[in-house]
Amino acid sequence: MPELPEVETTRRGIAPHVEGRRVTRLIVRDRRLRWPIPEDLAIQIEDQTFASVKRRAKYLLMDIGGGTLISHLGMSGNLRLVPAGTPVLKHEHVDIELDSGMTLRYTDPRRFGAMLWSTDPLNHPLLASLGPEPLSDDFVGERLFRLSRGRSMAVKPFIMDNMVVVGVGNIYATEALFAAGIDPRREAGRISRARYDRLAEEIRRVLAYAIERGGTTLRDFIGGDGQPGYFQQELFAYGRGGQLCKVCGATLSEVRLGQRSSVFCRRCQR
């Protein structure tokens, strides 16, 4: 599933090519995404100009005309730019044709993504209850410490809760916990303030670096410019169960937490 760095990579890839551009035509080949694409979407966006492309958590917010096109990439979706007239392949459900001669094309083999319309996106039911952005000043270790008090759940699913902080998915939670030296099985409520300060720093660092590297290529993710991400080549823990720890040489362990695979080093993480 595309996580926050992949979505931010997509935003950065498409924004320079769509901002200030007018939509000449919307083509919807299949409305059956996680929620149906609105029947009147063409009326809302055709002949309108993109003002900006922003991101909130894993949602892309494309301001256009009198509202915002909210897009989520789901499990396997991607938004990329192709020249007008590029042959359509299987699972390419939506084309937004621009006055530049380029087309913003949405592809989603599993159709778990979304493309919705809102005039008040930050108060949309999908976004209204979300926690702070992990790269913002609002996200600090004190918040993690405060919200974790009395919580017996493991720390990894705790930091993956979008009401605690958005966008810390399985890959980056695994990597941040490794970097912070925290065992993902530890009870969230039994971790000290100092260790949460370190964890918040590592979450920010890991996510920022992954964005610089263009995200993580897992299965079929590609960015908005059609290029894959390269962070996967530098993973310390995620997906490396049974392999040797790059830091201490011990064999990495793999368990399941919150129905997700979790890889960690019993020697480096406490």
Q: Which amino acids are annotated as binding site for DNA, given as ranges?
A: 91, 110, 151
Per the annotation, the verdict on 260 as an active-site residue is yes
Q: Which residues are annotated as a binding site?
A: 91, 110, 151
Cα angle for residues 241, 113, 206 (degrees, 5° grid)? 40
Per the annotation, the verdict on 54 as an active-site residue is no
Taken as a whole, the chain contains a residue count of 270
Per the annotation, the verdict on 90 as an active-site residue is no
Q: What is residue 209's three-state secondary structure?
A: helix
Per the annotation, the verdict on 58 as an active-site residue is yes
Compute CA distances 232 → 8, 28, 215, 244, 253, whole Å: 16, 33, 8, 16, 19
Q: Name which of 20, 47, 44, 27 is nearest 118 in CA terms.
A: 44
**Active-site residue (options: 21, 58, 156, 240):** 58
Cα angle for residues 78, 79, 84 (degrees, 5° grid)? 130
What are the strands, taking DSSP E only, across 44-155? 50-56, 59-64, 67-72, 78-83, 92-98, 102-107, 114-118
User: Could you tell me if 110 and 74 are in contact, meaning their C-beta atoms sit under 8 angstroms apart?
Assistant: yes
**Active-site residue (options: 143, 185, 260, 267):** 260
**For residue 40, which amino acid is it?**
D
Residues marked as catalytic: 2-3, 58, 260
